[in-house]
C-alpha cells in the first residue's frame, strides 16, 4: 500500500493542514501554499512555518506534496504570461522548500494554439531556467499527467518523457499520476490486465521509478473523453477495482497517494475508508 491521504485545506493557517490530515488519518497530504487562483501571495510567516514543521514532525504524516497555482503555464506562448508563470513557479519552489515539503506537483502547461511540440520544448527549457535560478534541493518537482482538456499537454506519457528528456537535472524531477486524468486521456486501468499494460507502457517510456505520487480520483467522464472531472472513489467511470490495483502494487509501497475528490472532508473520509478496505 502507498501512503494514503488527501488534498487538505490550509484555511485559517498553513499549519491547519496538519490537523486536517491527522483528523483524516492521512499518511500523506497535499496542500496549496497560497490561493490557487491568484498570482500574488503574502510571504509565509516565519512563526507559521515553525508551527507547521513542529506539528508535522509529531504527526503521522510522512510525506507532503505542494500543488502549484492553477494559473501557472510554463508552456505559454505569451511572453508576459510566460514570465509571470516562471516567477510564480520560482516562488512556489521557495515556499515548498521553506515548509520542508517533499514534492511540488505542477500541470505541465497549455500551448494555446501554438502546437504541442513547441509547448513541450518551452516547458523543458523553462524548467532548466528555473532550476538554475533557484535551488530546489530536497524538493522533487513532479509533472502531473493531464486529461488533455483544451490545449493542455501532458495527456500522453510521451509528452512527459519528452519534457524529462530536456531537463538538465532529471534527478530533480518525477511524475505524478492522476488516475482521473489518465483515464480521461484514454489510458484504461479498469481491469488487472489493462492496468498492467498501462504501467508497462509507462515503464517503457519513462520508468516506474519516476512515479513519486498519485492523485487518486475516480472520473465523472468516459475513457478518452479528454475532460477533467473528478469523482468520488467507486462511483465514477473508473470504478473501485482500479484503485485496488494501485494500492496493492508493491512498487508504490512508499509513494504518497492523495485524493482530490469533490465534497470535502466528509467524502474524503468515505473514500479513504474504501481505499483502506481494498488493501489486501
Of the two residues 82 and 215, which places its CB atom closer to Zn ion in the complex? 215
Q: Cβ 212 to Zn ion, closest distance in Å?
A: 13
Is residue 5 a contact partner of residue 256, using CB atoms and an 8 Å limit? yes
Report if residue 215 touches Zn ion, rule: CB under 5 A.
Answer: yes
Does 107 count as an annotated binding residue?
A: yes
The DSSP code for 209 is: G
Specify the DSSP class assigned to residue 226.
Answer: -
Task: Tell me the longest C-alpha to C-alpha distance in the chain.
Answer: 51
CB of 5 to Zn ion, least distance (A): 13
Cell of 199: 504501467
Tell me the site size for Zn ion, rule CB under 5 A: 3
**144 annotated among ligand-binding-site residues:** yes
Phi and psi dihedrals of 214, rounded to 5?
-125, 145
> Does residue 68 interact with Zn ion by CB under 5 A?
no
Partners of 31 in the β-ladder: 66
Q: Is 80 annotated as a binding residue?
A: no
Residue with CB nearest Zn ion?
215
Q: Which residue's CB is nearer to Zn ion, number 55 or number 238?
A: 238
The reply on whether position 7 binds Zn ion by CB under 5 A is no
Pairwise CA distance, residues 104 & 276, whole Å: 25
Report the run of H or E that residue 259 belongs to, with start and end: strand 256-259
260 is in an annotated binding site: yes
Binding stretches for Zn ion (CB under 5 A): 178, 215, 260
Amino acid at each position: 500500500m502507498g501512503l494514503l491521504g488527501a488534498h487538505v485545506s490550509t484555511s485559517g493557517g498553513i499549519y491547519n493542514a496538519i490537523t486536517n490530515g491527522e483528523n483524516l488519518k492521512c499518511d500523506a497530504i497535499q496542500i496549496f501554499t497560497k490561493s490557487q487562483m491568484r498570482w500574488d501571495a503574502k510571504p509565509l510567516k516565519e512563526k507559521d512555518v515553525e508551527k507547521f514543521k513542529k506539528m508535522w514532525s509529531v504527526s503521522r504524516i510522512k510525506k507532503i506534496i505542494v500543488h502549484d497555482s492553477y494559473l501557472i503555464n510554463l508552456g505559454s506562448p505569451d511572453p508576459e504570461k510566460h514570465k509571470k508563470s516562471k516567477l510564480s513557479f520560482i516562488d512556489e519552489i521557495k515556499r515548498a522548500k521553506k515548509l520542508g515539503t517533499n514534492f511540488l506537483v505542477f500541470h505541465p502547461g497549455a500551448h494555446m494554439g501554438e502546437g504541442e511540440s513547441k509547448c513541450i520544448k518551452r516547458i523543458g527549457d523553462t524548467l532548466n531556467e528555473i532550476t538554475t535560478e533557484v535551488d530546489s534541493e530536497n524538493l522533487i518537482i513532479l509533472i502531473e499527467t493531464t486529461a488533455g482538456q483544451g490545449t493542455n499537454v501532458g495527456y500522453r506519457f510521451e509528452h512527459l518523457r519528452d519534457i524529462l528528456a530536456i531537463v538538465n537535472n532529471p534527478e530533480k524531477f518525477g511524475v505524478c499520476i492522476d488516475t482521473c486524468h489518465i483515464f480521461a486521456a484514454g489510458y484504461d486501468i479498469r481491469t488487472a490486465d489493462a492496468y498492467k499494460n498501462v504501467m508497462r507502457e509507462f515503464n517503457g517510456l519513462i520508468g516506474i521509478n519516476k512515479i513519486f505520487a498519485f492523485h487518486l480520483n475516480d472520473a465523472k467522464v468516459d475513457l478518452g473523453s479528454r475532460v477533467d472531472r473528478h469523482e468520488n472513489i467507486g462511483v465514477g467511470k473508473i470504478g473501485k477495482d482500479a484503485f485496488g490495483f494501485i494500492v496493492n502494487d508493491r512498487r508504490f509501497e512508499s509513494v504518497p497517494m492523495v485524493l482530490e475528490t469533490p465534497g470535502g472532508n466528509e467524502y474524503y473520509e468515505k473514500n479513504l475508508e474504501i481505499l483502506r478496505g481494498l488493501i489486501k
